[in-house]
Amino acid sequence: MTGLVVGLVVTGLLMSLVGSFAPVFAAEAYVVGVALAQPPGVALLVAAAVVVGQTLGKVAVLASVRAAPGWAWVRRVRAATGHGPVRAAGGWWAPLAARTAAWARPVHRWTTEAMGRPAAPLVVVLSGAVGLPPLLAVTLCAGTSRMRCVPFVAACAAGRGLRMGALAVAPGLLAGGALLL
């Protein structure tokens, strides 16, 4: 394996790991860019690294959500948004937290209901593959549900694998004329 390939794989892994906490990097664009510039094998290897990084990041988010009720700043935000036992008087973040909670409430309600069902891994696969609802939102809801970690990891990796694998091979199919638009 050349240094370039190792660099592309490590970059994809780290970028997707960081991007799984906050969507600041477009992993999809990175995979497509590599697929346009490198052979299909390299693109699939980078896609696999991106899947691993995103899955590890989402597991960290899931674990954080499950551990968060004991954190003091989480209790303050929950109190400010009316989800805690006492409404907090304020803080510079209280209005933002309240607006965010109001905006996310319908998505959270639907996803939380779906995560409480036996088909919860299918929601995670769908979210990972299609992006609706966003995987970060699904991960947050999974953290508050009874969904076990192993099915979550498998479903997350499967959904992201479908998406990234398709993106890694699509440019080659288009360039080869196998797919005409």
Give me the amino acid identity at 88. Answer: A
**pTM score:** 0.78
Task: Domain ranges for the chain, please list them.
Answer: 3-175
Per-residue pLDDT at 34 exceeds 60 = yes
Pick the most confident of 43-47, 132-136, 177-181: 43-47
84-109 confidence digits (pLDDT tens)? 554 445 667 677 777 777 777 776 67
* Whole-number percent of the chain with pLDDT over 90: 50
The pLDDT of residue 114? 76
Per-residue pLDDT at 149 exceeds 70 = yes
Burial 132-148 (b: 16+ CB within 10 A, else e): ebebbbbbbbbbbbebe
66-84 confidence digits (pLDDT tens)? 888 778 876 776 666 665 5
The pLDDT of residue 181? 39
Helix or strand or coil: residue 176? coil
Mean local confidence (pLDDT), 153-168: 97
